Amino acid sequence: MALPKEPRQKMINIMYLVLTALLAINISAEILNAFKTINESLEKTNTAVNASTTQILASLTQKLNDPATRDRASVWKPKADQVTGYAKEAYDYIEGLKKEIIAASSKGGKMKDDDQNSTTRILVKEGKGKQLYDILKRYKENVLKTDERINTEFVNSFAVNLDPPKSQNSNKKTWEEAYFYMSPTVGALSILSKFQNDVRTSENKVVTFCHEQVGKVEVVFDSYAAIVGQNSNYLMPGQKIEIKAGIGAFSKEAKPTISIGGAVVPLGEEGFALKELDAGSVGPHTIPVTITYTNQNTGQQERKEVKVEYMVGQSNASVGLDKMNVLYIGVPNPVTVAASGGGDDRVKVSVVGGGGSLVKKGPGKYDAFVSTVTDDCKINIEVDGKPSSFNFRVRTIPEAQAFIGGQPSGANINAGSFRAQGGVGAGIKNFPFELEYDVLSFTFTCDTDDDIVSIPNQGAAFSSQVRAAINQYVQPGRMVTIDDIRVKGPDGRTNKAPSLVYYIK
């Protein structure tokens, strides 16, 4: 359209052209929100995959400290470290680009989601998109050159794909133009997060491959808690005190050495040491318990010492917890009350503190129910008018771990086996009570040929939408992430369980 010379008409026509251009490049709020959702899902997945890689590397370190696997680990641990170094370089470069784009498109501390100029300037005109391509290409080449066996395993399935996206027209564009030219800020961030996901996923798969050349990946924990319980903290002369001790860890691999009263006690099938001792004479008593274990992060031996304290008295009554010397919220805690010199009909039992109550199950047998955490919950006993009081702690039950088909996060699962699963389960191991946990909700995420799907799910069972996505997309070479897992325990508390990552083979 020719522009006339009259100033007023020139202004009208210029405004029309500007408005037309704005309408042509207008991006709907729905599209921007979709980009945000995809980016958030990718960032959650990146965090979960990185946690899995860290755990595998810690297990490799343990293999390096084990004489039985040291020779093989000394070959493959350095290769795994090389790969993580290459991955860190690529990941950090992309993270720097994201920060630069956010800063350039922000005004007054708020990012402009639909800003297309900043992305185009930084990644296309200033050449940083070309630098990104070169870094990703170098990352892929370096990883595959780390070892010939790695190259053979991953040369045709490496997660970093540098092919430009398919275009609807035949115009030839550079790689960076195809991805980033006139892309809104939130869209560019999603694409960069996708490349970070490619880096994290390929790193995780190669590090897992390195570990598999050494042996089975062992679950590694970064914290341990000594669990020590006793059948009673108040006994009569001639009675036995029973002490149960172990390490609180969600694994059968952390096998500690336990000493009770100066003598080493063998572990039972559940990983606990159980020892029965004479209560001793009237008065206070202390029995030392020492637990020695290997910290799987450092490979070093560590010790935890606990003192079991109890009183031997001349009272006519005693109280023992049938499970552990702690009352747990939300579950029935079995309690045994023994009274010497008095029948069951002459015994009165009550509980004070911890929001406690008692339900009688039979002669000398009760279920204690508590609702509040405290160190001062007392079970009071009165026999023929003579009172006795026994103090117990009240604690919440542990938070659950999620799983699919009994498989831990980071496992390689056959596609057919995954499709056969009904949903997500949750539970804990090595705990004296049999507890039921309910999975309330989670988010299912899976990559496709050129995108990812992320579907919220209510309840433990896979919804029809998730089931359809599983049947369509869960194929060999794909990765499935289960995050935002909400779990409700038998005590009514709801917690967020760690994310799950599975590789489909």
- DSSP tag of 478: -
Question: Is 70 exceeded by the pLDDT of residue 6?
Answer: no
Question: Which pLDDT value is given to residue 485?
Answer: 94
Phi, psi of 244 (to 5 degrees): -120, 130
Given this model, what pLDDT does residue 297 score? 54
Average pLDDT on 453-460 reads: 94
pLDDT above 90: residue 92? yes
The answer to whether residue 15 scores a pLDDT higher than 70 is no
| DSSP line for 356-412 | -EEEEEETTEEEEE--S-EEEEEEEEEETTEEEEEEEEEEPPPPPEEEBTTBPTT-E
Nearest 5°: the CA angle 77, 78, 80 is 65
- In percent, the amount of the chain with pLDDT more than 70 equals 75
Contacts for 196 with CB less than 8 Å, ≥ 6 apart:
42, 46, 91, 94, 95
Q: Calculate what percentage of the chain has a pLDDT beyond 90.
A: 25
Q: What is the pLDDT of residue 136?
A: 93
Residue of higher predicted confidence among 233 and 195:
195
Rounded Cα–Cα distance for residues 226 and 222 (Å): 14
The region that residue 299 occupies, defined by phi over 0 for left and psi between -120 and 50 for alpha, beta otherwise, is left
Position with higher pLDDT, 80 vs 275: 80
What span, in angstroms and rounded, lies between the C-alpha atoms of 310 and 287? Answer: 9
pLDDT higher at 272 or 434:
434
The whole-number pLDDT of residue 17 equals: 41
Largest CA distance in the chain: 117
Task: Report which of 466, 469, 465 is spatially closest to residue 478, judged by C-alpha positions.
Answer: 469
Q: Read off the pLDDT of each residue in 413-438 and give the average, rounded to a whole number.
A: 86
Confidence of residue 284 (pLDDT cuts 50, 70, 90): confident
Mean pLDDT for all residues in the chain: 79
Q: What is the mean pLDDT of the segment spanning 76-87?
A: 92
Q: Which H, E and C letters describe 169-234, residue by residue? A: CCCCCCHHHHHHCCCCHHHHHHHHHHHHHHHHHHHHHHHHHHHHCCCCCCCCCCCCEEEEEECECE
pLDDT-derived band at 140 (thresholds 50, 70, 90) equals: very high
Which is higher by pLDDT, 3 or 81?
81
pTM for the model stands at 0.49
Confidence of residue 245 (pLDDT cuts 50, 70, 90): low
The predicted pLDDT at position 19 comes to 35
CA 444 to CA 467: how far, in whole Å?
10
Residue 372 and residue 410 in contact, taking contact as beta carbons nearer than 8 Å: no
Whole-number pLDDT of residue 180: 83
Q: What is the pLDDT of residue 290?
A: 86
> Distance from CA of residue 49 to its chain's centroid?
10
The whole-number pLDDT of residue 23 equals 33
At residue 457, the pLDDT reads: 96
pLDDT at 355 over 70: yes
Say yes or no to pLDDT of 322 above 70.
no
The predicted pLDDT at position 170 comes to: 54
Specify the higher pLDDT residue, 84 or 182: 84
Task: Look at residue 4 in the predicted model and tell me its pLDDT.
Answer: 42
Out of 111-115, 145-149, 164-168, 413-417, least confident range: 164-168
Instruction: Tell me the average pLDDT across 213-239.
Output: 56
Residue count of the chain, please give it.
505
Distance CA 447, CA 474 (A): 8
pLDDT at residue 500 in the model: 92
Per-residue pLDDT reduced to its tens digit, 34-71: 567 677 767 877 887 888 888 888 888 888 888 888 88
Give the position of tokens 């980071």.
410
pLDDT at 5 over 50: no
pLDDT in tens, 427-451: 887 777 778 889 999 999 998 877 8
